[in-house]
Structure 1
């Protein structure tokens, strides 16, 4: 735990914070403000269906048919209300996600370290920042160690800049990221007044790219709108040439145009994605962008970090090995002089104020074993940050008398390479590293150097070190990991372990958790020697990747993507940022993840629990499956409405204008809640997590995907038109014919809702699925249908007629049979699989 007393900084008092906030405001960048209500209203006013309703309503009023005009005007209000409701649900869900993903900052106030929302920072605050943080405001450094910043966002320069109080450049700027070390800075500018804030206006014009599925939906709806427009003009022209009645011809054309528009599809997409993100949030999975939900169900490979993902990230100091004794001994607090020297050197090689779990453990061990704490008497005078392949770091401390301590720690191989060791010692060390690695320990080599003068070499590897020994940490695996790996396997998802640890340690932990393919590994150095084509072949066979560094991680992700796989990547550190960004689904850890990792990722696991990824993928598959059902339902039920309006008109049947705009909008209002409410609330099908992931390129709008919907729609059309002709054959009038055909479509709509809850399992199976909205919506539909038949004002208004029991039964049975045939198709599909 970081102690503010180490910095001798008290920070602002509560009163000073309030005063600063009143004087200077909050740390919020405010430019163009969005008004949710008016934006939603403008969006609704541009909807083709609303435009058609306005036109149709106006025509009714002009022609003196005020009843239908009022009904369509009310329909506009109802459609707008439904759209407002869906839009508000989406916005509320996304607002909650935004609040959860809002960056946090650590500040010292009243002498205590607090974590606050970054927007709550005020001028004068003492901000604590460390490796991986995104700096939330501008400030002046008052304390630092090994502190460097990546300012490429502002300067375009990719190299990190080292900063401290003694340098002329002691300023930090909002939006930049901490590349290494730790610092405390006094905030000087916030919000729009920061350097980033002054250039932030240009960011307003940046539009978020649409996903492939969004583009397909937009394209599909646009094409249908164009066809609707063409057919509208054609039907208007034909009718006008035959009758000479402008308004009547226009109403008939508008009826057909309204039946063609599938306006429910984009609404369903937005609703499903936003509510899916909200459901994931309640499960402890924060989705930063709504569109990520679409991708989740397609994940085929997960590249998992070891520390904190597979293991608990406890980093307990467990064993010590010194060259002097030649023995590996458990750390129990009682140390020989050689072991005490090893532990002390390892502590000096750590940050003076530790924030890494291993360094925290070393400082704690030093505090409990030393008789005299020398840390207050020494200051860091020079440092080499973590670097090299394999990596190491070196710190130089000096006291007032000029006594100097130069200590280094890092990968044992890095320290061995920079130390003068005999062949026997190197062999012994190799055996010890292999032995400890096989037991799953995380190893750090420790060395000490001597150097006179202040003209330090540019690279720490140019110093000559005396190898002191190895400190071994044990980071136990999480208990649920074997089960998580099984779940991924069942779902057809490959898992690869990508870690900075050495091969022996990584493979030992992998073996403990029954990681598939734990016996084969590849190091970062080996990987970088392969050509792209060689790596693309190798990467699918190797499951354990060790001694990884940023460039190697990115190459792994790109090689897997080149194999047409959908890659999810977990990470928490600064070095994971590029790979998280390169993957299809970047996954950051909520607790131990750095701000850089969280910004690069699309998804955050709040509790650092990999099992949540199983839940996330299941949710992704469920949402995609339910959206597919909704869209197929919409297409299936639109076809009979279109053709029932068009065919009698085109073929000049006895009652060519069987439906008016009022009838079409009534059907639309009944269908809308079905697709967006029932299907969004559907539970996951029981075989969803034992299927292979769907290919990322799969869409709803290929003929192969649509053929079922088209056939279903055509069969329902056939049923409706058969009842139409049967009514004419029986000599029924236009009102009875219209009512019977309408009831066929209502009946078919009810059974289609039930049948399409699964395209594999029978309706009798899906009736057992828990979805309370199914009986509710179907009951409302049945009650409304009954009211249309028996309540005289409604019957007269819609030009219906009360049917006899035989007429109702005929319509109901035909509607049922026009849908239930698909149960036979599902049964054949299941039989083939058995």
Structure 2
């Protein structure tokens, strides 16, 4: 909390409590679905659950009560795993929602404090400033250069200027502050606001599926269609041979279960939601889950300079007086009257209650160097907001005796254009600007307005100004920014600086931080003047863009996207909103970022630390890689299950029905947690951030990777069927043959899980990966498998016969080799 300069006391704690009791909390009412019934509905819609229930009913009709009971239990296990995964995903997303709760600033008991927007009450004194989203309806009681965008309510995109004396000095919830600052007495919150009264239509907004989600859903749908066709074929074959339609249906359902890859959608949801949760723990708040899958593909990062590459800790460092043609050190000016007057004039050109770091520095410089503080004796009688290309702003102050101060500051080029200087004078000042900029200073021009009477022109550029001098600020680079840039470059990511500052300052900072390919710069005006083809070429090889404005930023982002780049864009101001929205990954700053920037962005860096984007991109690549491992594992292990059920039946082998639904569901219960829980927890591989970005347009199931998974599955199938034939030729019974086939598949599953932890590094390397879930899960699978083979009641239920040590070693060894051969291929690949 800090003391306020508005002479407003605000509500007391008791008044806040009374208002909350009377009017409620500041939140729109939204219909909420019953969580239990929603989960139940989703569960019943799962094909695997439907198949299990149908098969259980068939077993009951046939009098096989034990099998029916097992499948009923399996329904609860499948439901439990599904609900557990969904609850983990939902908990992660709920935590993200609570973390991204918007904030607002109020005056209570004479102090300025930040609170959550939902804590706002009727009667509060709400402070709103440039870039903020207004949290409630209210009446303006104080304002400086205040304008709002009310397009969300009126459809009119132009800003509306308002003050306490306006015809309608009212602001509305959901509108955004374009410029200035105001204190608002809150009159309505929640459903009673204008937005609340028309906001019910916002509840029905649907979220589009991402390209990856569509690819995965399409793949699953195709597998379901294949499952239906094969189901019909198997049922027909069995019915033709046995004329028992119920038994034939059971066997056909067994195959249908083996084909359905129901683990894939669950894995996708889990990976994305938990990925967003992990990012939040790292200080990166993901507002849209789809951003998680895009992060790993980022190929270009467009970053602003101030506050991203630099500390945004402006200190007044240097001055230049036009009249004296002399530079001054701003630290000590007590004996330099004209230099102190320049600081004073720059201060008068600033907001009376400063919030911009440069304006804060000017107020501090004035307070430190003035003999008498004249601020209380003057009032603001007219103001021109920051406007123009390049921009400038003008304030008109007057005291009780009628003495007037007309002060302007802004881009030096803007002040030079309205000061009526001759060419020689301009050249001298431009030389001074280059000198200060080349040393890395942020430079502003300062002018004194020459205007008599009270007829203020409509635009400040029509006023004649006397160019007084330059004020220069130093904003040091962030300490870690060199390492951050180097990490981006190693990951194959191009970095471009897009800033409103001048090219000399930007290049000086770029050189200091080790920025690559920063020799050429171009301004926003020059860029937009280029023909379309030349524009596209220019943005490819130029990496520093100076004196940029919203239209130019937006066009750069769209041109990079059109060139096939995956664009990440950082921003913090109102003017960054369009470009942040257009970028594939809009990145807002959590501390200095405006509400408009945060609303437009898809993720927020909580501590304004660009190094977190390195972590976020690494996390995006890790999530994508691990999801791909999980799905390749699912494909590889489904193939031998499908073919081990289908081939003996189709070719009329001696034991045609080697597996029943109870065996398939057991294997499914093992595979689900493995792909969704274990693979999600895999650490990032050490070469992940040394590879170029993955093209976003590339299909998730590319041909080479799909072929790899299919070959893995076919090899496991071939070895499993060899074990089948070995057991048959050795004269083993159906139960023992089933046992050996099952043992082979189970050991293949365990080894495939380990082998597929990396498609590049060897098992000797990946065995050291830190994954606290991997070995407990595999150990549990192994113990459970042994229990089924050697605990007599379980073996009888599953129609197994306990194998000898040699028989188990043969089947388990064969299964291990059927997955382990891939290690040799990885060795060749590394070589």
- Shorter-chain TM-score: what band? over 0.9
**What is the CA–CA distance in structure 2 between the aligned matches of 1:162 and 1:643, rounded to whole Å?**
72
Indicate whether 1:333 and 2:332 are aligned: yes
TM-aligned CA deviation for residue 289 of structure 1: 1.5
Aligned to 1:461: 461
- Aligned residues of 1:286 and 1:603 also touching (Cα < 8 A): yes
Consecutive aligned runs of 4 or more in structure 1 exceeding 3 Å deviation: none
**What is the CA–CA distance in structure 2 between the aligned matches of 1:782 and 1:21, rounded to whole Å?**
58
- Aligned residues of 1:397 and 1:404 also touching (Cα < 8 A): yes
**What is the CA–CA distance in structure 2 between the aligned matches of 1:549 and 1:290, rounded to whole Å?**
30
SS of the residue aligned with 2:541? coil
SS of the residue aligned with 1:379? strand
Indicate whether 1:716 and 2:725 are aligned: no
Map residues 288-307 of structure 1 onto 2, 5 A cutoff: 288-307=287-306
- C-alpha distance after superposition, 1:467-509 (max 9, x if no partner): 0100000000011111111111111011111110000000000
Aligned to 1:748: 748
Map residues 636-715 of structure 1 onto 2, 5 A cutoff: 636-715=636-715
Structure-2-length-normalised TM-score? 0.99
- Aligned residues of 2:586 and 2:602 also touching (Cα < 8 A): yes
SS of the residue aligned with 1:540? helix
Indicate whether 1:373 and 2:373 are aligned: yes
SS of the residue aligned with 1:728? helix
- C-alpha distance after superposition, 1:563-587 (max 9, x if no partner): 2111100111111111111111011
Aligned to 2:240: 241
**What is the CA–CA distance in structure 2 between the aligned matches of 1:140 and 1:77, rounded to whole Å?**
57
- Aligned residues of 2:3 and 2:110 also touching (Cα < 8 A): no
Range 406-415 or range 700-709, more displaced: 700-709
Map residues 339-488 of structure 1 onto 2, 5 A cutoff: 339-488=339-488
- C-alpha distance after superposition, 1:580-629 (max 9, x if no partner): 11111011111101111111111111111111111111111111111110
TM-aligned CA deviation for residue 2 of structure 1: 7.2
TM-aligned CA deviation for residue 204 of structure 1: 1.5
**What is the CA–CA distance in structure 2 between the aligned matches of 1:194 and 1:60, rounded to whole Å?**
60
**What is the CA–CA distance in structure 1 between the aligned matches of 2:699 and 2:669, rounded to whole Å?**
27
- C-alpha distance after superposition, 1:176-216 (max 9, x if no partner): 11000000101111111111111211112111111100011
TM-aligned CA deviation for residue 35 of structure 1: 3.0
- C-alpha distance after superposition, 1:299-323 (max 9, x if no partner): 1110111000000001100011111
- Aligned residues of 2:227 and 2:259 also touching (Cα < 8 A): yes
Aligned to 2:64: 65
Aligned to 2:632: 632
- C-alpha distance after superposition, 1:371-427 (max 9, x if no partner): 222222222121111111111011112222322211110000100000021322211
TM-aligned CA deviation for residue 770 of structure 1: 1.3
Aligned to 2:43: 44
- C-alpha distance after superposition, 1:100-119 (max 9, x if no partner): 11110001111111101111
TM-aligned CA deviation for residue 34 of structure 1: 2.9
Aligned to 1:169: 168
Map residues 70-149 of structure 1 onto 2, 5 A cutoff: 70-149=69-148
**What is the CA–CA distance in structure 1 between the aligned matches of 2:698 and 2:153, rounded to whole Å?**
40
- Aligned residues of 2:550 and 2:576 also touching (Cα < 8 A): yes
Range 687-696 or range 227-236, more displaced: 227-236
- C-alpha distance after superposition, 1:721-752 (max 9, x if no partner): 11111111111111111111111110100110
- Aligned residues of 1:333 and 1:368 also touching (Cα < 8 A): no
- Aligned residues of 2:589 and 2:607 also touching (Cα < 8 A): yes
- Aligned residues of 1:144 and 1:182 also touching (Cα < 8 A): yes
TM-aligned CA deviation for residue 700 of structure 1: 2.3
Aligned to 2:772: 772
SS of the residue aligned with 1:416? helix
- C-alpha distance after superposition, 1:665-710 (max 9, x if no partner): 0000111111112111111111001111111112322333311101
**What is the CA–CA distance in structure 1 between the aligned matches of 2:807 and 2:250, rounded to whole Å?**
29
Aligned length: 830
**What is the CA–CA distance in structure 2 between the aligned matches of 1:796 and 1:3, rounded to whole Å?**
79
**What is the CA–CA distance in structure 1 between the aligned matches of 2:186 and 2:249, rounded to whole Å?**
66
**What is the CA–CA distance in structure 2 between the aligned matches of 1:502 and 1:708, rounded to whole Å?**
53
SS of the residue aligned with 1:539? helix
**What is the CA–CA distance in structure 1 between the aligned matches of 2:240 and 2:493, rounded to whole Å?**
62
Aligned to 1:260: 259
**What is the CA–CA distance in structure 1 between the aligned matches of 2:610 and 2:35, rounded to whole Å?**
36
Aligned to 1:549: 549
**What is the CA–CA distance in structure 2 between the aligned matches of 1:270 and 1:349, rounded to whole Å?**
53
TM-aligned CA deviation for residue 3 of structure 1: 4.4
Indicate whether 1:277 and 2:276 are aligned: yes
Aligned to 2:796: 796
SS of the residue aligned with 1:679? helix
**What is the CA–CA distance in structure 1 between the aligned matches of 2:49 and 2:793, rounded to whole Å?**
26
**What is the CA–CA distance in structure 2 between the aligned matches of 1:398 and 1:489, rounded to whole Å?**
54
TM-aligned CA deviation for residue 338 of structure 1: 1.2
- Aligned residues of 1:500 and 1:547 also touching (Cα < 8 A): yes
**Aligned-pair RMSD on alpha carbons?**
1.2
Range 366-375 or range 135-144, more displaced: 366-375
Structure 1 portions without partners, runs of 5+: none
TM-aligned CA deviation for residue 660 of structure 1: 0.8
Structure 2 portions without partners, runs of 5+: none
SS of the residue aligned with 2:770? coil
SS of the residue aligned with 1:497? strand
TM-aligned CA deviation for residue 40 of structure 1: 1.7
**What is the CA–CA distance in structure 1 between the aligned matches of 2:364 and 2:726, rounded to whole Å?**
89
**What is the CA–CA distance in structure 2 between the aligned matches of 1:115 and 1:425, rounded to whole Å?**
48
**What is the CA–CA distance in structure 2 between the aligned matches of 1:584 and 1:138, rounded to whole Å?**
33
SS of the residue aligned with 2:420? coil
SS of the residue aligned with 1:321? strand
- Aligned residues of 1:149 and 1:162 also touching (Cα < 8 A): yes
**What is the CA–CA distance in structure 2 between the aligned matches of 1:170 and 1:37, rounded to whole Å?**
47
- C-alpha distance after superposition, 1:66-117 (max 9, x if no partner): 1111111111111111111111111111111111111100011111111011
**What is the CA–CA distance in structure 2 between the aligned matches of 1:429 and 1:691, rounded to whole Å?**
48
- C-alpha distance after superposition, 1:123-182 (max 9, x if no partner): 111100000001111111111110000111111111001111100121111111100000
SS of the residue aligned with 2:280? helix
Indicate whether 1:213 and 2:209 are aligned: no
SS of the residue aligned with 1:350? coil
**What is the CA–CA distance in structure 2 between the aligned matches of 1:372 and 1:91, rounded to whole Å?**
60
Q: Does the C-alpha gap of structure 1 residues 823 and 799 become closer, same or farther in structure 2, counting only changes over 3 Å?
A: same
**What is the CA–CA distance in structure 2 between the aligned matches of 1:782 and 1:306, rounded to whole Å?**
56
TM-aligned CA deviation for residue 247 of structure 1: 1.2
Structure-1-length-normalised TM-score? 0.98
TM-aligned CA deviation for residue 244 of structure 1: 1.9
**What is the CA–CA distance in structure 1 between the aligned matches of 2:827 and 2:399, rounded to whole Å?**
83
**What is the CA–CA distance in structure 2 between the aligned matches of 1:403 and 1:608, rounded to whole Å?**
43
- Aligned residues of 1:347 and 1:359 also touching (Cα < 8 A): yes
- C-alpha distance after superposition, 1:508-553 (max 9, x if no partner): 0001101101211111111111133212211111111100101111
